[in-house]
Every structure is written in C-alpha cells, then in structure tokens.
Amino acid sequence: MTDPRRAIPRTDAVLAEPRVAAAVAQLGRAVVKAAVGRAQREAREGVLTPDGVVEAVLAALPPGPSSLRPVINATGVVVHTNLGRAPLSRAAARAVADAAGCADVEFDLVTGKRTQRGRGALAALRTAVPDAGDVHVVNNNAAALLLCAMVLAPGKEIVVSRGELVEIGDGFRIPDLLTSAGARLREVGTTNRTHLRDYAEAVGDGTGFVLRVHPSNFRVTGFTSAPDVGELAGLGVPLVVDIGSGLLSPHPLLPDEPDAAGALRAGAALVTASGDKLLGGPQAGLLLGEAGLVHRLRRHPAARALRVDKLALAALEATLLGPTPPVRQALEVDARRLRDRAELLVKALVEQGIDAAVVDSVAAVGGGGAPGVELPSAAVSLPERWAGALRVDRTPVVGRVERGRCLLDLRTVDPAEDERLCQAVLRCG
C-alpha cells in the first residue's frame, strides 16, 4: 500500500509553481519557504491533503513584504497619528519609489562631484517660505527642537512659559527633551497667563534662547494671556518658535493656527515644524530662519545623527512642488460633496440588505494641529459590530463608534477608495 505522504510535493516543486514563484519575487525566498515547510508538515500530519499544499502556502503568506498594512482611514481624523499621520500624495509616493534605488541625493551628475544633500527639497522649502534666510531638514520636529537646544543652549537657560511645557505624545515631554541636550529650563509665568515682563526679567547673560511652543494638541481658554511673537523677538536673545503642525503659510480654515511665514515675519530667529502634519508630507522636522543660525545647526555634529533619509527628502520635495496633498484635500473638501458620496454608498449597501444610513458628522484635524476646530462632514452609519469586522477585513477600514453605531466618516476617505470601502462593508455583512 502506497504511503499517501509520498504524494506531498517537494519544496523545490512548490517554489516553482508560478503563483508561489511570484510570491518569492515579492516577499523573498525565506518567508515563502517557511510557509511551504509549515504546509508540508500539516500534510504529513493529515491536516491537509497533498494537493492542498500550494493553496495552503498561498493562503498563509502575508499580503505584502512588510507587516505594515495599508488601511482606509474612515475615522474623520484628518491627520491620524496612529495611522501614520499624513498620507502621501501620489506624486510623493512616486518620488519615494524613484529614490528607492540609487539616486543623486548628494551627487552632481554634471560635474561628477559631491554636492549638497537633498538640494531639491531644500530649494523647494526655501521657495515655499521666502521669509526664511535658510532652511534645514531633520528627521522630525522633536529632533529640530533638540538640535536648537544643543546648538544654542548647552549649559545655558531656555526661557519658556509654564503653560507651554507640553507632552508631545507617547509620554515624551518638551522639558525632558530640552534638558537632555544639556540645557536648563527657566520657567516663567503661570499655566494660563504669562506676560512679557516675565520673560524680560528672566533673560540674562545665561540665556541661550527664548522658546515659544504652540500648544497644538490642547487649548487653554478663559482668563489667559501671552505676549505675541513680535514682543518676544525684542528681548535681545534668539527666539525659537515651535509651531508644531507644519503650516507654512496662513490657511483660511485655520485662522488660529500659527504658520512659519507669519512667525518669521514677526521676528522669530528660528521656526521648527513637522513635515507630516498640515504640510501633508513625510515625517520630517523643518528648521527655518536666520541663515547664520541655520548654518550653525547644519554643521553641529549631532546634525548627522538627526539627518533625514533620501526617501523623506524625495517625498518632501514632491509635496512642496506637486499637486495638493491628501491632507489639504481632506481639509478643504465641501461637506455637500461628502454627503453626495455617502448617499451613493448607502444606496448600494441598502440594496444588498445592509442596515446603513447617511448621518451628519464632525471631523477633526488631528495630529496635534488645530485643537477644537470642527470640520462638518458626512458619514455612513452602520451597526456597531461592523467596527471590529472592518478592521480585520482584507481591506482594513478604521472607523469610529458613536452612540452604538459604527461611523465611516468620508472626509478622511479618498473618493478613489469608495468602491473598496463599499466592498469591505459588504464582505463583513
């Protein structure tokens, strides 16, 4: 009697199967070979039939070469930190792909010599903020602020209002960041009110700089007071303004959100900002300001450790020069268009027997930007149980739960994703 295990296909035969071979090209031989080994063991144990090995291998393979999975953001939070903040534009994604191989990131193709790293991205940033004498890019906004402290205030004091000693997420705090660079904090004022005289009395020979931090993820209202940037710029020491959100110029929908150009025109020596929030680009820390100070920052030894990679430089340049990025599209889309899309989606779902409805919604900017700003939106409302099912669908969709219903807010969903969103809901029904 022939042992059925003899019919289990050999490893080389499975790897040669066209679909498995295509997976090897995408995922790598080691990942696919491990899946083959598991399927063969299950076949030997009688869990699988020999002719089911290939299908079992294909079913067990991850959807992509990384554990990160693309998701549809239907939360209504435009810049969602847990979902990677700003989604890149197609132009930026193309730029990343182009830069993924060998690229002239710091090489002049005409002369054949080394040149300034990321010169295209830096030129685009200078063009976007002409008020800046010079610009520099590091790997995130915290790194930009850290570099300021290391260059301007080692062993010196940084004068900052008590109301601006913020926690920036995941337990990290501005005071800890600054003191880790060897600076000392000189706290002035109170949580809700800090006056110009508080800063003036604290500034002295031991002052490295005055720091203004925009409280971008909370608001203090009521009996409050703070001097403006122009007043702080006249204290005789450098003023560093951390605007946080990456807004380079004023935006009509966000009148209370500080912007880099405005801070520089008001007298800030340096402005720090994020590239992956309201700018809508990759994770990056932007430094803009007086040319001499920026040069000192760029030449500090720590600047090498905080250097941004070529992929981020490529995406940043494409974001600055290319079409409107998804973050701005989501901010500026008309709520009536969102409702029209929601009605089409609900019509298709109801026709398939899904308990769906169109509801008005309120979206948020998120990502530590424009706290309290409400964006009118429209959402597809489903029974609450859809929330968990959609998150684990093969096209993961992340919505939010309100009053016992799962809401899929369309302000944060690209219109091109509507059909995939609809299919995901139908599969989870």
Q: Summarize the confidence of residues 42-60 as an average pLDDT.
A: 92
Amino acid 6: pLDDT: 80
Q: Summarize the confidence of residues 165-173 as an average pLDDT.
A: 80
Within this chain, do residues 296 and 332 fall inside the same structural domain, yes or no? no
Contact 148, 300 (CB under 8 A): no
Within this chain, do residues 293 and 335 fall inside the same structural domain, yes or no? no
pLDDT in tens, 392-425: 999 999 999 999 999 999 999 999 999 999 999 9
CATH number, domain of 399, equals 3.90.1150.180
Pairwise CA distance, residues 148 & 287, whole Å: 9
Within this chain, do residues 230 and 180 fall inside the same structural domain, yes or no? yes
Within this chain, do residues 244 and 345 fall inside the same structural domain, yes or no? no
Pairwise CA distance, residues 214 & 246, whole Å: 11
Within this chain, do residues 197 and 296 fall inside the same structural domain, yes or no? yes
Within this chain, do residues 339 and 399 fall inside the same structural domain, yes or no? yes
pLDDT in tens, 56-87: 999 999 888 888 999 999 999 999 999 999 99
Q: Is the confidence at residue 31, as pLDDT, over 90? A: yes
pLDDT in tens, 248-284: 999 999 998 999 999 999 999 999 999 999 999 999 9
Within this chain, do residues 21 and 46 fall inside the same structural domain, yes or no? yes
CATH number, domain of 109, equals 3.40.640.10
Q: Report if residue 416 sits inside a domain.
A: yes
pTM of the model: 0.90
Range(s) of the domain holding residue 40: 4-60
Q: Report if residue 65 sits inside a domain.
A: no
Within this chain, do residues 301 and 403 fall inside the same structural domain, yes or no? no
Number of domains in the chain: 3
Within this chain, do residues 80 and 98 fall inside the same structural domain, yes or no? no
Within this chain, do residues 219 and 271 fall inside the same structural domain, yes or no? yes
Within this chain, do residues 220 and 241 fall inside the same structural domain, yes or no? yes
Burial class (CB in 10 A: 0-12, 13-18, 19+), 3: exposed
Within this chain, do residues 96 and 152 fall inside the same structural domain, yes or no? yes
Sheet with 134-138, side-by-side order of all strands: 134-138, 285-289, 270-274, 239-244, 207-213, 157-161, 184-188
Q: Which of 333, 330, 325, 416 is nearest to 89 (CA)?
A: 325
